[in-house]
Chain A
């Protein structure tokens, strides 16, 4: 029976049917649901790891000992996992090892727009890219087979539109795959120069063989039609091309690395004009050109953002659409009503400090009216950046610099920055915004929540004890809703020498939805203070007075605390 499935759900289903035994991951949009879906299968061990590097190493271990294993991450997670990944290409596998990497063209929920296909090339790891959910399932199964056949990890690459689109999938039964025997083999599994030299030879030989074999893979498909225009494409872009140019001839790449140059050369010889339609970098185009196959591509399509059907019709058929210019108020994402981060950013803004922030819902503290964030780079970077500020600009700078990071992000890679700060005699102030969950990706568990991915009870990492243990000079806990306490503690810790950690604790407002009654306003003096909170439930009336939208307000009472006239009352 066919069933509508998200691309991510289909990947999970494919791994399940392929007999995967171990899946490890760190949440990251648009890859998160793969792990959440696979966790529902009792036959599969699935976990959240603290970061992608650890997740990758878990998958390597499971593969070495003979199981089919998978590791899932978003594109920037591949950067974190790159160290074990490059060397796993050398060791190869025992049980099949699949890497799910999700790119985000258009940056719907990411801090950069990197093209993960380059990792396939530089690490010499083959990469498949499905174009809908049915292929997502089948390609994942194929990836396990190729992994074992060619003794290499294999990438399955998705993009946001594949990961978060639903289309019909025919499911099949799971095939149990017994553990392959583990045999000690230093020349394969112990990567030191003497053995790695030999493995590098094996990597090159494998890649040469695969590069020849991909010409015969039926997931690389030629669809000859009108020979006046030939398109080379992959992934969801294939669907855009088929919709925009139903008459064109198409070469659909299922394997996006290594490329089937023999068949591409043949295709090129049969069409009058060859155009590569690919999102992000000219990955295919440059390789085609380097192999003497002339083509167009990035002369027509941008390296930024997503490609659309309309874009393809405009560039290749000259069809223009009649659209109106509009000047409407934008609606950027905001911290939710009752968000525990809001009060902390309100105080940071009030204190006029420099804030190095991190990746999570609290990145939204950069937006008006809070405007309390100076820097955001990558997971965990806030701590090192604050330390760098002090080492370069001195103690006066660190007296007005605050690093902020979420609980999950702190565990992911903030802790190492903190150890560095302590070790190197820093004077930074770090606020850990502990909302007891991984918020932005949709409430995933982590080592300090007390539950696993499979919702089983787990030991709880004590963040306060951890900070004390690594040698922080001061570790204090405040209630994120207690603005006076947050302000007082921040001022004291900024003035104090040494490394200070303030754990601002309050669960995400979306976790337990037993809210108190909404706040109310009476006799508003129109001073506008409450609007500085940027709460979506506080609306400015035409006369400048405040009104609480009772359908959005969760009664957190933050607005009561900032109102100098006592006009707002908690519900």
Chain B
């Protein structure tokens, strides 16, 4: 397996767990893998980026401009912010959730309109996932990240059993069942 996956979102949305599930997947595949995260100040509701690189041999842990095969965005504006990191023809898997940044909340700026259309102009393929609505149905808002992983896995052509095994390896046992439901739901619509 070979893929550069950029996970973007808002601090607190669970991008770290998502990257760890993909790390567990690489482990199952026997591939080399590097993950890169940002801790500290950026986690406080700021724009966050997590890098996942899977290949036979990975050098830099960081995905650069025009270097991502896939952008998995937990928030729409963040998807747009990082489109310069997508390779030509790359795939964007985007949660249709909007989280307003402070300049929008204070009225200094407007939240961009038509984001999904803009993404379609810039990507080879855009998959929109109503991950928040699905997580609400499941009854656990924290599963948004795993719904997204399900949709991503389907698009990477990964068998459900394999991504499920990766999930099991990455989450605490007591959280596995609810997350498995989230994974399945994401996989089904991916």
Residue ranges of A at the interface with B (Cβ–Cβ < 8 Å): 4, 6, 29-30, 32-33, 108-109, 132, 160-161, 164-168, 236, 239-240, 242-243, 308-310, 321-324, 326, 328-336, 361, 364, 367-369, 440-442, 528, 531, 534-536, 538-540, 544, 549, 551-552
Contact = CB atoms under 8 A, between A and B. Distances in A.
Given A161-B36, A332-B46, A540 B104 contact: yes
Given A166-B23, A308-B62, A324-B83, A336 B44 contact: yes
B14 to A, nearest CB: 13
Interface stretch (B73-81, B149-157, B171-179, B181-189): B73-81
Contacts of B141: 551
16 contacts: A109-B39, A109-B40, A109-B41, A160-B38, A165-B37, A166-B33, A236-B61, A239-B61, A309-B62, A323-B84, A329-B103, A331-B78, A369-B106, A536-B102, A540-B107, A551-B132
B65 A333 contact: no
A306 B79 CA distance: 23
Contacts of B10: 331
Given A109-B39, A551-B132, A551-B141, A539 B59 contact: no
A108 B42 contact: yes
A243 B175 CA distance: 38
Contacts of B62: 161, 165, 240, 308-309
A233 B105 CA distance: 44
Given A165-B35, A440-B41, A442-B39, A329 B106 contact: no
B55 to A, nearest CB: 11
B103 A333 contact: no
Interface in B111-148: 111-112, 122, 132, 141
The 3 closest A-B pairs by CB, nearest first: A109-B40, A29-B40, A333-B46
B66 to A, nearest CB: 5
Interface of B: 10-12, 23, 26-27, 32-47, 51, 58-62, 64-67, 77-78, 80-81, 83-84, 99-112, 122, 132, 141
Contacts of B27: 4
A168 B102 contact: no
A267 B19 CA distance: 39
Contact of B60 (A166, A309, A328): A309
Contacts of A160: 38
Nearest to B75: A331
A4 B23 contact: yes
B189 to A, nearest CB: 20
Given A165-B34, A329-B110, A534-B106, 15 more contacts: A109-B39, A161-B61, A164-B38, A165-B51, A165-B62, A236-B61, A239-B59, A326-B81, A328-B112, A331-B10, A332-B101, A333-B44, A333-B46, A538-B105, A539-B104
B52 to A, nearest CB: 9
Contacts of A240: 59-60, 62
A4 B108 contact: no
A336 B45 contact: yes
Given A109-B40, A323-B84, A531 B35 contact: no
Nearest to A510: B12
B1 to A, nearest CB: 15
Contacts of B39: 29-30, 32-33, 109, 164, 442
Contact of A166 (B12, B35, B109): B35
A122 to B, nearest CB: 27
Contact of B111 (A33, A109, A167, A329): A329
Contact of B46 (A167, A328, A334): A334
A141 to B, nearest CB: 22
A29 B41 contact: yes
A528 B80 CA distance: 29
Report which residue of A164, A239, A329, A440 has the largest number of chain B beta carbons within 10 angstroms of its beta carbon: A329
B106 A531 contact: yes
Contact of B33 (A167, A242, A308, A361): A167
Nearest to A367: B102
Contact of A4 (B33, B67, B99): B33
Nearest to B81: A328
Contacts of B105: 531, 534-536, 538-540
Contact of B44 (A33, A168, A335): A335
B41 A321 contact: no
B59 A30 contact: no
B142 to A, nearest CB: 10
A88 to B, nearest CB: 28
A551 B98 CA distance: 11
B134 to A, nearest CB: 14
B35 A329 contact: no
B84 A332 contact: no
Contacts of A535: 105
Given A108-B38, A323-B84, A334 B60 contact: no
B44 A243 contact: no
A368 B39 CA distance: 22
Contacts of A161: 36, 61-62
Nearest to B136: A551
A52 B45 CA distance: 28
A161 B49 CA distance: 12
A367 B41 CA distance: 13
Given A240-B60, A308-B64, A369-B106, A331 B43 contact: no
Contacts of B43: 333, 442
B45 A540 contact: no
A331 B46 contact: yes
B20 to A, nearest CB: 8
Contacts of A534: 102, 105-106
Given A4-B23, A331-B10, A331-B101, A164 B36 contact: yes
B64 A165 contact: no
Nearest to B58: A167
B44 A364 contact: yes
Nearest to A238: B59
A332 B78 CA distance: 12
A361 B10 CA distance: 17
Contacts of A323: 65-66, 84
Nearest to B104: A329
A536 B35 contact: no
Nearest to A328: B81
Contacts of A552: 99
Nearest to B109: A329
A7 B41 CA distance: 19
Report which residue of A168, A441, A544 has the largest number of chain B beta carbons within 10 angstroms of its beta carbon: A168
A239 B60 contact: yes
Report which residue of A108, A166, A336, A540 has the largest number of chain B beta carbons within 10 angstroms of its beta carbon: A166
B17 to A, nearest CB: 13
Contacts of B80: 326, 328
A16 to B, nearest CB: 21
